[in-house]
Amino acid sequence: MWIHIKSYLVYFLTGGIFTVLIVALEENGSRLLSGFATLMPVFTLVAYFFIGETRGGAAVGQHAWFVLIGTIVSWVPYMALVAYLAPRIGSRYAIAAGMFGFFALAGIYLALVHHYHLFGES
């Protein structure tokens, strides 16, 4: 049990460090570096490293396909909504609308993945 807790703590700290770095770069006026860091697949990079260590390459491959298609289905529309709505209704409302759209589309996607047992999901 202690090994699992230590592993989860490492996962949490690793992801948190990247998040803090991105915000710190933006707050200090390094928009290009912050943008580059944000474009990097930080969370999948960290997650896939650890998933690969514990479950192997096949699990990483299945998860990568799952995330790639899920990104197209839910994240792309989220970003489009935020980009379109932010100048019109303000960032907070645009983000809220984007998140609503994201969760609706992600929920549908997850239901289909579960129903059809896609990507190794059982």
For position 121, what pLDDT does the model report?
63
Condensed to tens digits (0 to 9), the pLDDT of residues 75-121 reads: 999 999 999 999 999 999 999 999 999 999 999 999 999 999 998 76
Range 1-14 average pLDDT = 81
Residue 10 amino acid letter: V
Residue 81 region, left (φ>0) first, then alpha (ψ -120 to 50), else beta?
Answer: alpha
Q: What does R_g of the chain's alpha carbons equal in angstroms?
A: 17
For position 85, what pLDDT does the model report?
98
